[in-house]
């Protein structure tokens, strides 16, 4: 069972490398995002509606994935492992994140308006007045934060339940991805029902965010970045996002900032194109380290 689970992780990693992500029309996470649209409306009791949504939606996603993997496993264990790998593939993201961050950094040098537009795929912030250096800062911050949300957390869920069963492991990854999708959709102060999804995401991401900081320091070859990042990680309002962002800033010796929100002064200046390119490369390496570590852990459990 553990070798099959390791094979599922390897298949997810191969899918990430070769495909990046399925087209939106075929992507279950995109389906979930569209299905959540009708819930974004006035509610008589918005916090209750948010709490019910945060409880039910991830459980439904997990149950659906567990059922499909279990049915596939009845056909043949290898088929079950392949389906679990596909479920893990659509629950994680590395290459698309890295490719988009690289594209934003490259465009910041030659076509700032284009870089600002492309930044919307990475960071939910107003970009029309950002300087080129601020755009690069946002790309580096988002790459670090999304490593935690989009890769480390679902892989951690998979590894946690892999010793139990493949359906349970795939369900855990899907549950984590659904929680993160809920937070991305509703977890804003302007959305009355967003309190519960945001708090649930904060709780789920507590350990993955800190684990991501460790992996980023290792991938950068700068273990001391963790010590420097500790006081800086509290600068953003999020209890979790500051850890990978501050660690990467410390590893690069740069300042990262979101105007009007926070400043992470791990260096004197905002990222140059070379700094930002190096930061994205660190995130890419960290992603491969996480895939490899997850496969190794589930193979040995």
How many helices (DSSP H) and strands (DSSP E) are in the chain? Answer: 14, 2
Q: How far apart are CA 96 and CA 16, in angstroms?
A: 8
pLDDT of the residue at 124: 75
CA 271 to mean position of chain CA atoms: 22
Q: What is the pLDDT of residue 127?
A: 83
Longest Cα–Cα distance in the chain:
59
Domain coordinates of the chain in residue numbers? 2-300
- Distance between CA 146 and CA 48 in Å, rounded? 28
The whole-number pLDDT of residue 123 equals 81
pLDDT at residue 1, as a whole number: 62
Distances, alpha carbon 223 to alpha carbons 74, 157, 211, 226, 250, in Å: 45, 25, 13, 6, 10
| Residues 5 and 84: beta-carbon distance below 8 Å | yes
| pLDDT tens track, the chain, 301 positions | 688 999 999 999 999 999 988 888 888 888 888 888 888 888 889 999 999 999 999 999 999 999 999 999 999 999 999 999 999 999 999 999 999 999 999 999 999 999 999 998 888 788 889 999 999 999 999 999 999 999 999 999 999 999 999 999 999 999 999 999 999 888 777 788 889 999 999 999 999 999 999 999 999 999 999 999 999 999 998 999 999 999 999 999 999 999 989 999 999 999 999 999 999 999 999 999 999 999 999 998 7
What is the C-alpha separation between 243 and 247, in angstroms, rounded? Answer: 6
């Amino acid at each position: 069972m553990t070798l099959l689970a390791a094979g599922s992780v390897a298949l997810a990693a191969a899918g990430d490398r070769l495909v990046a992500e399925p087209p939106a029309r075929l992507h279950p996470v995109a389906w979930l995002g569209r299905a959540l649209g009708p819930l974004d409306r006035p509610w008589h009791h918005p916090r209750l509606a948010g709490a019910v949504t945060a409880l039910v939606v991830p459980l439904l996603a997990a149950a659906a994935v567990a059922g499909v993997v279990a049915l596939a496993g009845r056909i043949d264990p290898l088929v079950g492992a392949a389906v679990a790998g596909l479920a893990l593939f659509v629950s994680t993201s590395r290459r698309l994140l890295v490719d988009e961050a690289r594209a934003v950094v490259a465009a910041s040098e030659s076509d700032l308006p284009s870089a600002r537009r492309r930044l919307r795929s990475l960071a939910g912030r107003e970009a029309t007045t950002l300087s080129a250096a601020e755009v690069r800062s946002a790309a580096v911050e988002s790459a670090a934060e999304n490593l935690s949300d989009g890769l480390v957390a679902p892989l951690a869920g998979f590894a946690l339940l892999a010793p139990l069963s493949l359906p349970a492991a795939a369900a855990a990854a899907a549950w984590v991805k659904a929680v993160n999708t809920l937070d991305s959709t509703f977890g804003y102060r302007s959305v009355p029902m967003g309190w519960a999804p945001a708090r649930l995401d904060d709780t789920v991401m507590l350990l993955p965010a800190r684990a991501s900081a460790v992996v980023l320091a290792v991938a950068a070859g700068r273990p001391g970045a963790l010590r420097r990042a500790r006081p800086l990680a509290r600068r953003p309002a999020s209890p979790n996002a500051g850890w990978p962002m501050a660690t990467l800033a410390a590893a690069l010796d740069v300042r990262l900032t979101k105007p009007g929100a926070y400043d992470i002064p791990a260096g004197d200046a905002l990222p140059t194109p070379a700094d930002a390119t190096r930061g994205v490369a660190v995130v890419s390496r960290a992603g491969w380290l996480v895939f490899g570590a997850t496969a190794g852990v589930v193979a040995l459990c």
